[in-house]
Amino acid sequence: MKGIMKWILCLVLIAALIQASSALTKSGEKVTPSGDLKVNDMVTVTLTISIPRNYAYDLEFSSMLTNGQFTPTRIGEQNTSFTMQSIPTKTGTWLISQWVLSDKNSYQIQITFKGAVVAPSTGNSIVLLKITEKEGEIVVSEYPITRNVINPAEITSSITAAKTDAAKLLQSITTLSAQNVSTSVARSKYDEAINLLNQADAAKTSNFTKAQSLLSSAKTAITDGTKLLEKAVIQKDIDSVETVMNQVDAQITYFKVNRSISTTDPRLLGITSKYDAASTSLSMAKTSLNGGNNAMATTQAADAKIKAQDALNLSANLRKELGEGGLALPGVNPTYILIGVGIVVIGAIGVLVYRKFFRWDELG
């Protein structure tokens, strides 16, 4: 049993080696003109394919170029040409069946292909030549040769749109700067974007790939600048809330120390509860801002602003109620204090009258 398994493993290994050696290889690939292409450019593709011994596949050559001229020549035998089968249902496709390669020795074929560039139906790249190894209708492997096609109109439109977005960013920067929002970081991103867009504009007709890369970087800079500007606005809101919170904190201290109001006094409790709620919302806003969640930070900062202002209004009302100076008894309405003082004064007057009356009686 073990001997049979060894033979099976050997056969599998041999089959794998044969399969591995049966694949073609290509070398000397060259495309003229080099670099990115333009519509209607005439292109020449040359390469050498090495076909191994006992090659068993069909070779299918296809291209997106128009008016293609396909010429394969066996190296070392210049007078040897191949019978090529054009596939009617596939425009720009040629087939060399393995049976045309009459002998089973390994050899090399020089491929020369010429054609005209057309605008890609999708994307920006085009297949100049693709070699497909097939076994019947089964695709074994593919070797595509592609290049980018320049479309000046398309990239010009994209650059124009990006410049419009950059102009909107600059307008926002100008407006918010007048409102004392810190805009320097966002402005640096705007400057970066404009520089990249100008470079992309200059490269769009000569180096499509470079222009696309520059445009992409410019768009990223605009997006980053917009987010940084949003962050600066939120930070200003947070700073203004903190200013109000400091004012409320000073009032709370004043009520406790200068006016001896107890922390359990309902009037002070109303202020401190609003203060604590504002502090919680403000802390959440800072966390959201640092985490990059500008929308949430905006909502939380606005909530903190409302609560902080409520606390400030309550403290102002209490300050007005108490007046300046004097002693405020915790939990006692000032009206009652006045009534008490009045009773004391009346009582004192009554005592004086009483004493004077009895004194006269004694002298009577």
* Per-residue pLDDT, 124: 80
Tell me the β-bridge partners of 26: 49
Contact between 115 and 43 under an 8 Å Cβ cutoff? The reply is yes
The tens digit of pLDDT for each residue in 19-44 reads 444 578 889 999 999 888 888 899 99
The tens digit of pLDDT for each residue in 69-126 reads 888 887 765 555 566 677 777 777 888 776 666 556 677 888 899 999 998 888 788 9
Tokens matching residue 303:
């909530």
The tens digit of pLDDT for each residue in 206-246 reads 787 788 899 999 999 999 999 999 999 999 999 999 999 99
Q: Which residues 6+ apart lie within 8 Å of 147 measured at CB?
A: 31, 35, 36, 37, 43, 125, 126, 128
| HEC per residue, 142-183 | EEEEEEEEECHHHHHHHHHHHHHHHHHHHHHHHHHHCCCCCC
Q: Phi/psi at 16 (nearest 5 deg)?
A: -65, -40
Question: Among 292, 177, 171, which residue's Cα sits nearest to residue 231?
Answer: 292
CB atoms within 10 A of CB 153: 9
Q: Give the global pTM.
A: 0.56
Contact between 37 and 126 under an 8 Å Cβ cutoff? The reply is yes
Write down the CATH number for the domain with range 21-150.
Answer: 2.60.40.1510
Mean pLDDT of 317-341: 62
Contact between 252 and 289 under an 8 Å Cβ cutoff? The reply is no
Triad 94, 97, 102: Cα angle to 5°: 135
Query: For strand 107-116 and strand 125-135, is the pairing parallel, antiparallel, or unpaired?
Result: unpaired
Q: Any idea where the domains of the chain sit in the sequence?
A: 21-150, 157-234, 246-322
Tokens matching residue 200:
């992309």
* Per-residue pLDDT, 13: 42
Tokens matching residue 28:
């000397």
Evaluated on CA atoms 196, 198, 199, 205, the torsion sign reads positive
Measured CA to CA, the distance from residue 39 to residue 43 in angstroms comes to: 10
